[in-house]
């Protein structure tokens, strides 16, 4: 059974002028629901490159990425932003919070982008916190 994260023969190259740097050279992996996975490797081995693709922040050069049944491999910025909003959460090493907003406003922001009214968005996270 394919995982909730399913990648097949994923490749990513960075181009600097004519120079191609192949970072991911055919990575295949399945991550199933409720699985915890650690990605380990020396500095420069491509962990961040792979995480950026898994988090839909970047696209592969070749190969397939199916996230929860959606083929996100060839999606462009707007569709990827939609998937990030609905399908995946990402905890960054740096917090990437908006400094002008309160903690609650920062947490509520993705709900507002998802179309929930500000009043409901500010209520909804509280419901989860009280559980």
- Chain residues in the site for ligand ADP (CB under 6 A): 14, 21, 23, 41, 43-49
C-alpha span between 122 and 3 (Å, rounded): 33
Q: Does residue 24 contact residue 46 with C-beta atoms inside 8 Å?
A: yes
* 8 Å CB contact between 43 and 86: no
Q: Which does 45 bind (CB under 5 to 8 A by kind): Mg ion, ligand ADP, none?
A: ligand ADP
**Least distance from ligand ADP to the Cβ atom of residue 125, Å:** 31
Question: Which is nearer to ligand ADP, 25 or 118 (by Cβ)?
Answer: 25
Q: Which is nearer to Mg ion, 37 or 126 (CB)?
A: 37
Q: How far apart are CA 17 and CA 29, in angstroms?
A: 31
Please give the structure tokens belonging to residue 51: 């995480």
49 versus 107: smaller Cβ distance to ligand ADP: 49
52 touching Mg ion, by CB under 5 A: no
Beta bridge partner(s), residue 31 = 5
Based on CB atoms, which residue is closest to ligand ADP, 41 or 99? 41
Count the Cβ atoms, other than its own, within 10 Å of residue 22: 12
* Residue 41 near which of Mg ion, ligand ADP, none (CB within 5-8 Å, type-dependent): ligand ADP
């Amino acid at each position: 059974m394919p995982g909730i994260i399913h990648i097949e023969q994923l490749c990513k190259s960075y181009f600097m002028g004519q120079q191609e740097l192949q970072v991911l050279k055919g990575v295949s992996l399945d991550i199933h629901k409720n699985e915890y996975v650690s990605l380990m490797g020396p500095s420069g081995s491509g962990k961040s490159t792979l995480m950026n693709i898994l988090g839909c922040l970047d696209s592969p050069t070749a190969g397939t990425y199916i996230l929860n049944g959606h083929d996100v491999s060839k999606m462009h910025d707007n569709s990827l932003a939609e998937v990030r909003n609905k399908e995946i959460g990402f905890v960054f090493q740096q917090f990437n919070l908006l400094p002008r907003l309160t903690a609650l406003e920062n947490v509520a922001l993705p709900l507002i982008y998802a179309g929930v009214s500000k009043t409901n968005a500010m209520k909804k996270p509280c419901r989860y916190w009280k559980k």
